[in-house]
Chains A and B, each alone.
Chain A
Amino acid sequence: AQTVTQSQPEMSVQEAETVTLSCTYDTSESDYYLFWYKQPPSRQMILVIRQEAYKQQNATENRFSVNFQKAAKSFSLKISDSQLGDAAMYFCAYRRGEIYGGSQGNLIFGKGTKLSVKP
């Protein structure tokens, strides 16, 4: 079974600085997708960034970028120029590809990393 591990329960960053959140996953599948979701105090789950496993290029979305290391099964999130509004829980998630049938489409989540941003 696939698992997702976020080894940092809490992280802190100074406003305007850069922070990296770690995520590792375990799978024997070659076709899958990885996601980072943000959950602010409002509790809404907001998609931050998405990565297709077959793409070698790391995904970027404005100040957010990932370091996808497929062989190492690592998927870290880098937040540049941190802002107060970035303070939230961040969840890493895995989804198997369609070719596997069965439970494809279901997300497997890590336990989350709570990010604090200091002014």
Chain B
Amino acid sequence: DADVTQTPRNRITKTGKRIMLECSQTKGHDRMYWYRQDPGLGLRLIYYSFDVKDINKGEISDGYSVSRQAQAKFSLSLESAIPNQTALYFCATSEFGTSGTQETQYFGPGTRLLVL
């Protein structure tokens, strides 16, 4: 089974709808992240969480919110979806520490979102 899972894998929604993307991990990592990938722009950070009570905005948080329901679960919500939020969304996890392996982020398979 995959260590980091995302649901749904693909989603089509309409402008103005509220949607939630979910991420679960079995790696036991403290830290979780949401990224957005647009063609030609690489990945950009939306939100990140270092533990259940610690949530922080990333580079492009406007129009998004998150919830860290448990150490293993981190959800991303679009309160009122708009077409320019059409993108590929990735969840990632990492373990707190200072060794090289602990600094590595492990990614889920991604959710492709289309907002019409």
Contact = CB atoms under 8 A, between A and B. Distances in A.
A106 B58 contact: yes
Interface residues of A, number: 23
Given A45-B90, A111-B41, A112-B42, A52 B100 contact: yes
A115 to B, nearest CB: 15
A98 B56 contact: no
Chief secondary structure at chain B's binding surface? strand
Interface string B83-116: 0000010101010001011011111011010000
B70 to A, nearest CB: 19
For chain B, the bracket of interface size reads 20 to 34
A50 B109 CA distance: 20
Interface string B32-56: 0101000011111100101000001
B43 A109 contact: yes
A105 B93 CA distance: 10
B94 A109 contact: no
26 contacts: A33-B100, A33-B103, A37-B107, A43-B88, A43-B112, A45-B43, A45-B110, A47-B106, A91-B43, A98-B98, A103-B56, A105-B31, A105-B33, A105-B48, A105-B94, A106-B48, A106-B58, A107-B33, A107-B35, A107-B43, A107-B45, A107-B92, A109-B42, A109-B43, A109-B44, A112-B42
Interface of B: 31, 33, 35, 40-45, 48, 50, 56, 58, 88, 90, 92, 94, 98, 100-101, 103-107, 109-110, 112
